[in-house]
Amino acid sequence: MNLAINIPDPAASTYGQIARAIEYLSTPGPETPDIAGLANALSMSERALTEMFRKWCGLTPKSFAQAVALDHARKLLRENMSVLDTTYEVGLSGPARLHDLFVTYDAVPPGIYRARGAGLEMAWGLAPSPFGQVVLMTTQYGVAGIAFADEGREEAAFEDLAGRWPNARYRRDDSAVLPVARRIFDPVHWNPDQPVRLVMIGSQFEIKVWETLLKVPAGHAATYGEIARSIGKPSAARAVGRAVGRNPISFVVPCHRIVGSTGSLTGYHWGLVRKRAILGWEAGLISGG
């Protein structure tokens, strides 16, 4: 199956350069970025590099690196370890927080999960995002899947999602998912009057974990252990980790905000480079850059 599609989206094409920059920044340690060396490695001037970062996420390369540094993650943990013990506070500032409030969700009937998607029709397609191309799946209930698809890996990304619900019917429709992708990834289209509706398809335990992830606001971090305690399963940190790893709705269900107990970024189903990219991008939104 040939899934490739050419989407002329500036943000999506910029992500390739951003990803290379993040890899470079992460090598010596993002706390002390070598901006001149990074610009040289990308065959850019320092000014052009800074402009690229500012346009993409509203931060300078140095500020971006600091936003995803280990010390910063530890600071977030120290300041916000109790965030999951509180209810949503609408007064929290920042457009990224507003995005969290523009999402509603529900779970499909348990029978559909047990039947591995039988009876569901999935409309799916490829769309651009600030973090590269995505495979996006929707059902009559709402968005059921978002997976990042690196160049040449579109088919693998589709199969990763489709394999979770092998008995569902799949219909490709890029035009149908494109406006949904815009509402999810473009802050200009974040509208409280048109919330993005999610549908969660998983075991009861997985859905409970994913619902809890939605309570971790942008600019905050939580650990696997904290998630486990918040759902009343304090000894289930490893099981929580597996459920986080199986999150099928990337970005919107923010598994990228979950870190290790020491503040380390740990793994991410779609790659640590992309996890750093999303965290830095969110930091730019919160800073009002």
Active site members: 255
Query: How far is 70 from 8, CA to CA, in rounded Å?
Result: 35
Nearest one of 4, 109, 10 to 56, comparing CA atoms: 10
Structure tokens of 62? 């140095």
Q: In the Cβ-directed half-sphere of 46, how many Cα atoms lie within 13 Å?
A: 6
C-alpha distances out from residue 214 to 10, 11, 208, Å: 29, 25, 10
Question: Where do runs of H (alpha helix) occur along 35-122?
Answer: 35-41, 46-57, 61-67, 70-80, 95-101, 110-114
Query: How far is 48 from 43, CA to CA, in rounded Å?
Result: 10
Q: In the Cβ-directed half-sphere of 228, how many Cα atoms lie within 13 Å?
A: 16
Q: Where are the beta strands (DSSP E) in the chain?
A: 103-107, 121-127, 134-138, 143-148, 169-172, 196-200, 222-223, 258-259
